[in-house]
Structure 1
Amino acid sequence: MDRNDSFRAFVAGHQQSLMRTAYLLTGDAHQAEDLLQSVLLKVLGRWSRLSRVEHPEAYARKALLNQHISWRRRRVKTELPSAAPPERPYSTEDSTVARLVMRQALMRLPPRQRAVIVLRYYEDRTERETAELLNCSVGTVKSQAHYALARLRELAPELAPKLADLREAHG
């Protein structure tokens, strides 16, 4: 198997999970595709070394997180937060609405807090794994998760019971 074949096999095996993470980080399918594409280009450039390591997807995932945080730092803010409530009331029983509300609230978190929430609660990673992927301490992961969950409760109080369930399930 030559270099290109092994890289194609890597992409085929991990593209969906990397795309899901990119989407959860960006909240937009097109931005997620752009993010993943730029990261896969970086991975391809280092593939001769990465193909020999045990978990090249860990490098790709970390590159995805770092690239997203880097892009967010450079992005010009075009949206202004609003204190006005939604036009119509809705029930959090509707899982589709709850997912949309959660996604909108996630998009209002700072990049590092969003990355912690995505890794810990969506990808079900341990605090240690999350810390390693974000290149920070376990204490930082814990504090960022604490502040992010508090902010999510503030942004979407109707989701507080679901957020409490997440916290309890992940200790």
Structure 2
Amino acid sequence: MRFRRGRDTDESFTAFVATRSHRLIAHAELLCGHREQARDIVQSVLTRAYLRWSRIEHDDPYGYVQRSVTNAVTDWWRTGHQRHERPVDVVPDAPAGPDNALEDRRSLLAALDLLTGRERAVVVLRYFDDHTERDVAKILGISVGTVKSTCHTALRKMRIALDDEVRGPRPSHGTQEQS
């Protein structure tokens, strides 16, 4: 089967990728926690979207592709036990500008790393992508109540982690040194 692409379709898809791919990569990175894995996932999703572009470009192409990225990351989590390699974070060259922004980003990503896959997805979809609880429930195939409780738990974990980073680890209760 041969695919015939028109020049307008190619230009439309190229423009979409140029304007939206950075946002899609950021979305995927927040969900999976690894920049290079996020880039791979987005590239795979965009490859599949290109084949369907003439059908999706006139509706809500960003919503369609973003949902596809979310689903691809979810698939990536589910098959984690089958992977023999694990992505590692490479320390990027420090960008020009204030160090606080880079430290804040690192702190946020470290706090996100403490979350389960579902918790991370709920937080990213609610607060990074600004979806409603109902939308998050629909995207992830869970109930609105599960979104609320998962979000509550995830934000609590993140607050504790970020608070510990600022103030230092809390002393453990219940264990006292004996002299």
Normalised by the length of structure 2, the TM-score is 0.68
Q: CA deviation at 1:95?
A: 5.5
- State the match for 1:28 in structure 2: 34
Asked if the contact 2:114/2:157 (under 8 Å) is kept, the reply is no
What stretches of structure 2 of length at least 5 have no aligned partner?
1-6, 87-99, 167-179
**Structure number, greater radius of gyration:** 2
Pick from 117, 127, 132: which aligns with 2:123? 117
Q: CA deviation at 1:42?
A: 1.9
Asked if the contact 1:131/1:138 (under 8 Å) is kept, the reply is yes
- State the match for 2:136 in structure 1: 130
What stretches of structure 1 of length at least 5 have no aligned partner?
80-93, 161-171
Q: CA RMSD in A?
A: 2.6
Asked if the contact 2:32/2:38 (under 8 Å) is kept, the reply is yes
- State the match for 1:44 in structure 2: 50
Are residues 1:140 and 2:149 paired? Answer: no
Are residues 1:4 and 2:5 paired? Answer: no
% of aligned pairs identical?
39
Query: Residue 115 of structure 2 aligns to a residue in which SS?
Result: coil
- State the match for 2:73 in structure 1: 68
Pick from 100, 110, 115: which aligns with 1:104? 110
Kindly tell me: are residues 159 and 131 of structure 1, through their superposed partners in 2, closer, same or farther at Cα, counting changes over 3 Å? farther
Q: CA deviation at 1:28?
A: 2.4
Kindly tell me: are residues 136 and 49 of structure 1, through their superposed partners in 2, closer, same or farther at Cα, counting changes over 3 Å? farther
